[in-house]
Amino acid sequence: MVQLNTRIVIIVLAILVVGAAITGVAVSNERPPVTQAPSIPNTTDTATGERVQTQSHTSAQQRYVVTASTAAAINTTTLSRYGAVGTRVDARVELTTSPGNKTAIENISWVSDVRPVIRAHTAETPGSSNGSSLGVSKIHEKDITGDGVRVGVIDVGFEPTNPTIRDNVVDTRSFTNSETPKRHGTSVAEIITQTAPESDLYLASVTNGIQTEAAFGYLQDQNVDIIVSSTGFLSPNDDGDHFLTDDVISARQDGILFVNSAGNLGQTHWEGEFRSTDGDDKHEWTQSGDERNCLPNCQTEYGGELDVYIRWGSENDNSRYRAVLYNPVADQIIARTNTQRATESNRYAALVTDIQTQPVSLIIQHTAGPADDTIEVSVNSNTLSGMERNVPESSLVAPADVPETFSIAAYEVSASRVAPYSSRGPTDTGQQGIDVTGYTNIGVENGLYSVTPFRFSGTSASAPYVGGVAALVEQADSGNPSPATLATTLRSASDDIRVPGDDATSGSGVVNAVDAVESVSSVSITPTPTPTPTPTPTPAPTPTPTPTPTPTPTPTPSSDITVTRSDTATEVTPGTEITITTQITNVSGSVSVNTNYTPPVQSANITDITVNTKTVNPVLSEANQNGSVVVLDNVDTDATVSMSEQLTVAETIGTTHTITGDVATSDTTVSADPLRISVIAAKSPAERYDADDDGNIDIIELGQAGQDFASGELTITELGEVGQAFAS
């Protein structure tokens, strides 16, 4: 306890008595740390009432990959005594059996390894854009339609007889004996047929890693030219060296361009050192000690499916971590990981669950071994829009990380930007990761969704679009281009959309289908019209004009659009939340408000959007660490639009965030004056209450400190420091 002299104690107590009498609040010298996680038992038991789907219950049938000493040594008759034998690739075979049989299978003389299969994840995310033309209709008019080009598609399931793809399907093969959803794979195939309507499709259904390896072999046997996959795997490190690497390289060597979605983890990924400065074995997401990471943010509840993966160390690493989902309002654990696994290169923990709508925070707990690892956290869901604390960089999903993969990011036409959720490079080995960016939010009409047309989105949509463009280029290039040549053509014909040159967010830019086709053929798709001479007309008599009444002028929108931005503070301490308010006047029709944060902030949320003071639902409203975009339609003439953004600044002292951007309408674009927010060192209590900055605390300033203590905004220790400054 800070020692105060008698005079200060009397003054402070008097102030507290008066302040408490006026405000009617209880006086407390303890404030609960709002960012701390609850006590979590260090056990693998699941909490009561959890709906956790795992591979740990010995009563459930699970799929394993059994690896033999050699391919010839595999005896499927022996394996069939333990369960159903599935897909076989080289010296590995899939087996569905009870976990209780795992030890017995490991003891078979020719078995060298038994481990659970690696699940495949689709790269679809909810669409919020109106979509756009695919930019290929002019190419089709020149009879460039992908005719004769063989395109293989690897996905979780298809409906080959669907009218949107059935005329293109040449062959199908399913490597899984379970019923799988059809709409994702069918939509991927449909986008290929929209882009390359006469291409030949070969469809391979998979649900896990070994099945995907078998699918590569099947498609190579079919002599396909291009393979498209909008699936990925969260368990391996994104270092380009894992179970699919050899398959991707083999396909490239066979003359196949492998196109894969980058993933949708740009807003739900985090990577960094595990940190627990208070020794409670719970990861601190920020330097200020925040142990809870809100999903999608701390103002929004979430309900639905969630896959949480934590990766770290090597295959034989002794450290153990797990994910815990926690409801901070009800103070209840929702679900927690109870599985620990390993790939050939790293360890991982997986939490697969389906939760009811509620406030959700993610906690990472260290449970065993050294706590000195770099951890990588990925949260995958088709409905989750973000994670409060996230690191977009290095969020690629395998096999998009393999150098021989042609990896595709997602581009939103309506917002003119890379989709915030789109996974980014670089890879763990420093490779760029992203090759090009393709259109997303594409309308599909296969009738497998609740509405038709359905806006299919995510990198799941951009990959088949680029794959379709590749088929057009393949047909147009009479020289039968190699995969490397085809990839170079697509990169060279891309429109740069960020800083000049390649980058790990958009690659070379957005694929330009017309430029790509024109660059490899003599076909002119967008010819420049040749002017034709206009004959000089014979002069005609000028008639006497007939008087006409002067029309009443029609009101037109004002062109004097004004943009005003303001903030709640220009100098803040690390991790502070601030509010940026943007007001635009004299706008009409379609309005797009674009904001950039440089360098990125920790988190951002759009909290309020109004038109003429009335709250509205925009066509698009998204924000992440790098910036935000709001798109409004049918805005009244000369309206006033206001929006508020809540930002959490960086943790690093000395950072200055510059807030820039513009407002675009159908007629004009107006830039906003930049704002600058500086992150400075936290002031001492005495400095904070020195309102006149004279270096001294007077009785009024001490009185304010006393009232803040009475209301719980100041601790007794902090009050003591202010009192000491007054006494001195």
More confident residue, 11 or 581: 581
pLDDT of residue 121: 65
* pLDDT (mean) for 58-78: 81
pLDDT of residue 41: 65
CB 66 within 8 Å of CB 117? no
Element (H, E) at 69: none
pLDDT at 400 over 90: yes
User: Structure tokens of 598?
Assistant: 């440089």
More confident residue, 227 or 39: 227
Count Cβ atoms within 10 A of the Cβ of residue 466 and give its class: 0-12 exposed, 13-18 middle, 19 or more buried.
Answer: buried
pLDDT of residue 703: 86
pLDDT of residue 557: 43
pLDDT band, very low/low/confident/very high, at 377 (cuts 50, 70, 90): very high
pLDDT at 15 over 70: no
More confident residue, 547 or 316: 316
- Quote the CA–CA distance of 225 and 234 in Å, as a whole number: 27
- Quote the CA–CA distance of 56 and 40 in Å, as a whole number: 20
pLDDT of residue 59: 44
- Quote the CA–CA distance of 137 and 563 in Å, as a whole number: 38
Query: Alpha carbon 671 to chain centroid distance?
Result: 27
More confident residue, 144 or 100: 144
Please tell me the total number of residues recorded for the chain in this structure.
728
Q: Let me know the angle formed at the C-alpha of 626 by 297 and 673, rounded to the nearest 5 degrees.
A: 115
* pLDDT (mean) for 41-53: 39
- Quote the CA–CA distance of 164 and 694 in Å, as a whole number: 75
CB 423 within 8 Å of CB 265? yes
Residues ≥6 apart with Cβ < 8 Å to 156 = 120, 122, 180, 181, 184, 185, 205, 206, 207, 231
Q: Let me know the angle formed at the C-alpha of 119 by 235 and 399, rounded to the nearest 5 degrees.
A: 60
Catalytic residue among 121, 128, 129, 155: 155
pLDDT band, very low/low/confident/very high, at 483 (cuts 50, 70, 90): very high
pLDDT at 52 over 50: no
* pLDDT (mean) for 626-636: 83
* pLDDT (mean) for 272-285: 94
Q: Is the dihedral of CA 499, 504, 509, 510 positive or negative?
A: negative
CB 395 within 8 Å of CB 265? yes
Q: Let me know the angle formed at the C-alpha of 286 by 282 and 290, rounded to the nearest 5 degrees.
A: 55
pLDDT of residue 338: 67
Q: Which pTM value belongs to this model?
A: 0.67
pLDDT at 678 over 60: yes
Highest mean pLDDT among 461-470, 493-502, 555-564 belongs to 461-470
Catalytic residue among 121, 184, 242, 366: 184
pLDDT of residue 16: 46
Highest mean pLDDT among 127-131, 421-425, 664-668 belongs to 421-425
CB 685 within 8 Å of CB 714? yes
For 303, half-sphere exposure in the C-beta direction (CA atoms, 13 angstrom radius) is 3
pLDDT of residue 10: 52
pLDDT of residue 673: 86
Three-state DSSP at 351 gives strand
Three-state DSSP at 47 gives coil
pLDDT of residue 145: 96
Question: Which residue, among 435, 413, 414, 292, has the nearest Cα to 423 in the 3D structure?
Answer: 435
Backbone dihedral region for residue 501 (phi beyond 0: left; psi -120 to 50: alpha; all else: beta):
left
pLDDT of residue 153: 98
pLDDT at 294 over 80: yes
Element (H, E) at 408: strand 406-412
Question: Which residue, among 495, 479, 272, has the nearest Cα to 377 in the 3D structure?
Answer: 272
pLDDT of residue 553: 40
- Give, in order, the Cα–Cα distances in Å from 576 to each of 73, 398, 518, 600, 674: 62, 35, 52, 14, 20
More confident residue, 605 or 280: 280
Task: For 98-135, write each residue's pLDDT tens digit.
Answer: 888 888 888 899 888 887 776 666 655 543 333 345 78
Question: Which residue, among 213, 181, 180, has the nearest Cα to 87 in the 3D structure?
Answer: 213
* pLDDT (mean) for 558-579: 81
Element (H, E) at 397: none
Element (H, E) at 267: none
Least confident of 298-312, 616-630, 631-645: 616-630
- Residue 13 dihedral angles phi and psi, to the nearest 5°: -65, -40
pLDDT band, very low/low/confident/very high, at 526 (cuts 50, 70, 90): low
Query: Alpha carbon 277 to chain centroid distance?
Result: 29
- Quote the CA–CA distance of 151 and 277 in Å, as a whole number: 52
Highest mean pLDDT among 50-64, 505-519, 558-572, 587-601 belongs to 505-519
* pLDDT (mean) for 528-534: 41
pLDDT of residue 32: 32
More confident residue, 722 or 34: 722
Three-state DSSP at 310 gives strand
pLDDT of residue 43: 57
Helices 699-710 & 716-727 angle (0-180, nearest 10) = 170
* pLDDT (mean) for 243-251: 95
* pLDDT (mean) for 477-481: 86
Catalytic residue among 187, 460, 588, 621: 460
Residues ≥6 apart with Cβ < 8 Å to 139 = 145, 472, 513, 514, 517, 525
pLDDT at 699 over 50: yes
pLDDT of residue 60: 67
Q: Catalytic: 184?
A: yes
pLDDT of residue 249: 97
Least confident of 113-117, 227-231, 510-514: 113-117
User: In whole numbers, what is the pLDDT of the chain averaged over residues?
Assistant: 83
Burial letters 170-186, b for 16+ CB under 10 A, else e: ebebbbbeeebebbbbb
Three-state DSSP at 274 gives coil
Task: For 316-357, write each residue's pLDDT tens digit.
Answer: 889 999 999 999 999 999 998 667 888 888 999 999 999 999
pLDDT of residue 401: 95
Highest mean pLDDT among 272-281, 447-456, 613-622, 662-671 belongs to 272-281
Q: Catalytic: 460?
A: yes
DSSP-assigned states of every residue in 413-472: TTTTEE-TTS-----TTS-----EEEE-SEEE-SS-SSSSSEEE-SHHHHHHHHHHHHHH
pLDDT band, very low/low/confident/very high, at 551 (cuts 50, 70, 90): very low
- Quote the CA–CA distance of 21 and 61 in Å, as a whole number: 66
Q: Catalytic: 269?
A: no
Q: Let me know the angle formed at the C-alpha of 435 by 625 and 519, rounded to the nearest 5 degrees.
A: 130
Q: Percentage of residues in the chain with pLDDT exceeding 90? A: 44
Least confident of 134-138, 151-155, 665-669: 665-669
What residues pair up with 660 in beta bridges, in sequence order?
596
pLDDT at 366 over 90: yes
